[in-house]
Structures are given as C-alpha cells and as structure tokens.
Structure 1
C-alpha cells in the first residue's frame, strides 16, 4: 500500500483558515464533471460532507475519480455552504450521501486502492473509522460488490483481497503486485533463478486459487481471499526485489492446473517441517533450491513435487 502523507494542518485550523479567507466486476465510469459541481447534492450524484451526519460543506460528483488533488486551485474541493467550504476533499470527508443509481466505493488510497467502504444507491452514512478524514478516491461500481474477484481457471485475476491481520483491514491489491510482495518473503531472493521461478509459480497459484474460491470474512464482515500471514502467504508491501520480480515475469503467462483447475499449491521449508505433508501436494522450498543447484529447471522442479499437474502457457 502506498505511504500516506500526513496533513500539515488540523481540521480545526483548516476550517478557521477557510472562514477567514472565505475561502469485476469493477468498471470505470465516466470521469467526474467539474462543470456539474455546484455544492448541491442533486439526484444522480455522489456527495461528500465535511462533517459527520451529512453536515458541513458538501462536494458533489457525477462519476468516479481516482485522485482528488491536494492543493488549490487544482484540487476537488468542498463547494457548499458550511464548515470546510473551500478545502480540498482529499482526507477531509466525514460522511456521504449517494444519490446515484449505483453503488459507490470510497477508497483509502488514490487509484482505487487500499481499504474501502461501499455505499449502496440512495444510502446516507458516515465514513468508518479507517476512512474518516482518510479518503483518497471513489469509484462508481457496476455488477456485484461481493467477495469475488474476477478471473477464472484460465484467466488471471486482476486483484486479490488481502486481510491485513495486524491492521485489521482488507486491502484490494493488484494481483501481480501481491505476488511480487509475497515471493521474497517466502523464497530467499539469492537462491538460483529456477528455484525462484518454481516459487513464483507456487505463490501465484496459491493466491489465484483462493481469489477464485474464498468465501471468508473478517469478524467485521469484510470479504477476503487471503491473509498477509503464514496462515496464507506472507505479504509485505514494498519488499519486491529485482531477482524475484524477474522470476515472476518469466513465469507470469504460465498456469499450473490439476484436473483443469488452478492448483492450490502448498509448500513448506522442508519435507518434514510441516505437519500433514502429503507427497504430491507440497513443495519443499529448500528442496527447490537444491534441485535448481543440481541443474533442474522450474517445470521439472514443480512436477517432482506436485503430482498430476499440467503447465500451460498462454
């Protein structure tokens, strides 16, 4: 997840300054229209309010927007009368009214990324504790907004829902970004290239399987596909390396199936390290290193551990 930048002034001081100065299933909708933004929440619009409970100045939008901007005069700002008028919307909204005919998803990060909250057509409400004053983009949604990502057994998902356990939130992460930030935490980046390629295939296949099949939810009811811990795979944003990325790129268009379905590729450090090891269903990470050092290619390594698999290049 991209690093947030703290606001230099508090909401109270910003409001005072404004007063003195007067101042998949996801589909991209048409961009927000600046001409239609008049500080009135009309039918068909999605509106932010500066204060909770739909109070204070409001900012109205007619479509998705991936980045609100951070400085006047180019930012999208609050235009209606009341507290917050003239301030940039980014990281300043506290409540919404969705008067459009579609679900609208509010995101923590710009670019439709990070933690999010959905507002059904017609809904009014406060942003949750994660998103209040931490809003960076919103998207009009068509189709289902449930647990499923896109993708199939023959097509990679474009994103995956990752439960950030220590943060107690779910992030929607671009699928390749997810794999890039798992592999260096599960395989040693200095290991031979063919071992890293075998690891890239396993990490990708495991995530792919759960993106297609997961029905899990957090205690708060948010859907997720995988956790960011060893209960799934260790995902740490910002840890991708050149060596592991090269292995991922080299195998990205290859899928690993068994019986026509993406393999839930289990792996462990050694063949004796994990309880419940079943020959044919698990790969030894250290074993992949040793086989690569002995001259085996990644396809041969995978087939030596996973029985009945088919490797197909698209």
Structure 2
C-alpha cells in the first residue's frame, strides 16, 4: 500500500544516475592487496576462474574489491595461465574458489550492490545463472550477514541491510542500509537545497526505511519477502544516484535516531501541505517546507520537531 503522495523530485537523467557513490571515485584496492596477486589460487585467497568448473585462467584476491575496472592496464585481470589470461575480471568470471577463512560475497553490481552469491570458506563451484559473467564486485564478510526475511535491526540498532523490491526488474535486492539511504535521498530531496533541509530529509528517509525493515511482511506474487519498493510506493531508490551533498547529510545524521514512545517512527513526507492532505496530524513533513525553514535559519532538528509531533531525537 502506498504511504506517500505528491512526490517531489522528477526522475534523474542517466548521466546523473551514473554518479559515483558520495561523489567520490572508489579506489579498487590497496597496493599491498594488488601486489600479492600472482594468478595462483593460494591459501587465504578468493579466486575467480575464467571458465566454469574452476578451469581457465585464475584471478586471485586477498581482500574486498568494490569495482574491478573495465579496461587495461587499470583493471583487475585474469593472471594465471589458460583460457582468458589478460582479460578483465569484471563480468567475465564463470566459477570461483574461496580459500580464505571468511565468507566471500560476489555481487552483480559494483560497490557491493544488486544480486549476490555467497561462497563459504572452502567453497568451490560455478557462479549461478545470475552472476555468471555478470560479476562486478566482491566482499569478504566479517560476520554472518542476515538471511531470509528477518532483519538484524531493532528499535535501538540500525539494520545492516534492507530488502528492496526492484519493481521494473522483478527482483529483490538485499542492500546495505546506509547505501540504500544514500541512494534514496537525492531522489526525494533536491540535492542543491540547504544543508539543514537535506539533513532533515536524511533522518526522515532513514527512519522510514528503518521502520519497514522492522515491520514489513510484504511478499512478491511468487513469495519472495521484501521490506520496501524502489518506487514512490515506498521511497525512490536508484543505485548509483548518491550525490556529495546528500551523502554528507546522511553521514552527518547517521547517529541520530527518531523515535516516538521509544519506537522508530514511520516518517511520512510529501511535497507540500496541500499534497499531504489528510496527513496533517504530526506524522508527515513537507519537503518544500523543510527547504523554506532551512533557508530561514532553522536547524534540521527544529525542522523535524515542527512536523513530527512527540518525537525524540537521540
């Protein structure tokens, strides 16, 4: 059920959507990590193979890589002898062997996004149909990530991930929660608006997602559970759309929790008072109103408390 109306921000251009997370260029790996790569799958490493069945040239890694690169000489390539030697790893791997002591997660998208496949310590085998020749990043997991439908968050602890239903793709992605918030805010607030308006928006976007990560019982028609839609039915989420100004607002308020009676608040918002209509009951925030109040010198906490009744910010 849609909980919001009067969406404010038009869809971004393709060029804007390609902006790197936080407006920064992600460095593929440290010098030490890259220097140890020799095309041999050794103990402690995670290795890709160019062919299925752990055949062909090997590309070995000792740490997480957010983006393999796509062109020589800067990409991570297959280094071992055999079929595929010299080819860039991105979207070219068919199988893997995890010889490290940690679970390694292979992602469909760069920056640890999209569909994924986990390889437990010692696991060896083919990438699944979604990930085969569609691998863009991998991460060594420091702890066991949440699985299934249940979040690891509470009313006092942020969830580490959120399940996002990618409506047009008919796909459910488990997205790191901070990545989700950073790739929602620029699609719901105007990135050029004043800092305190963006910070108020960051708290609202985070609170809305946090609430649904705790409470959602939604399922797709074929039974896959998810927390939020990637559309205006929830909040507009677009991977890779984060901006420097909005990401800074998220970082500045990441430690702020908005509660009512000790529970995370389901923070509604919409463009204007008129658009919000019957929601004028202390549960909604006007996006344009937050801009105007910020321009008048209000802090984000004052803005939030003026719209959401009975809240505590801590």
TM norm. shorter chain > 0.5: yes
Please give the alpha-carbon distance, in whole angstroms, between the structure 1 residues aligned to 2:300 and 2:223.
Answer: 39
Structure number with the bigger relative contact order (C-alpha 8 A, sep ≥ 6) is 2
The aligned runs of 1:129-140 (5 Å cut-off) are 129-140=129-140
Cα shift readout 1:20-50 (whole Å, capped 9, x = no counterpart):
xxxxxxxxxxx758657454x5666533221
| Counterpart Cα distance in 1 of 2:219 and 2:182 | 24
Q: CA deviation at 1:276?
A: 7.9
State the Cα distance separating 1:264 from its structure 2 match.
2.0
- Shift in Å, 1:230: 1.3
Cα displacement (A) at 1:166: 2.1
Q: CA deviation at 1:183?
A: 2.8
Specify the alignment match of 1:146 in structure 2.
Answer: 146
Partner Cα distance (1:269, 1:295) in 2: 20
Distance change in 2, residues 1:119/1:3 (3 Å) = farther
CA deviation vs aligned residue, 1:236-283 (integer Å, no higher than 9, x gap): 345556765675566455331123333221223456756984833333
Unpaired runs of at least 5, structure 1: 5-30
How many residue pairs end up in the alignment? 283
Gaps of 5+ in 2: 1-16, 21-31
Equivalent in the alignment of 2:12: none
Secondary structure of residue in 2 paired with 1:208: helix
CA RMSD of aligned residues (A): 4.4
Shift of the 244–308 alpha-carbon distance from structure 1 to 2, 3 Å rule, reads: same
Structure 2 residue aligned with 1:279: 281
Distance 1:120 1:94 in 2: 17
Aligned to 2:52: 52
Structure 2 distance, partners of 1:63, 1:244, is 29
Distance of aligned partners of 1:76 and 1:244 in 2 relative to their CA distance in 1, 3 Å threshold: closer
Contact in 2 for aligned 1:48/1:96 (Cα 8 Å):
yes
Answer yes or no: is the 8 Å Cα contact 1:50–1:78 preserved in 2.
Answer: no
Distance verdict in 2 for CA 1:94–1:218, change over 3 Å? farther
- Answer whether contact 2:18 2:241 (CA < 8 A) is retained: no
Aligned with residue 308 of structure 1, among 301, 307, 310: 310
Partner residue of 1:255? Answer: 257
What is the correspondence of 1:180-199 to structure 2 with a 5 Å cutoff?
180-188=182-190, 195-199=197-201
Quote the offset at 1:101 in angstroms: 4.5
Q: 1:183 to 1:141 in 2, by over 3 A?
A: closer
Counterpart among 170, 195, 201 of residue 203 in structure 2: 201
Distance 2:33 2:199 in 1: 43
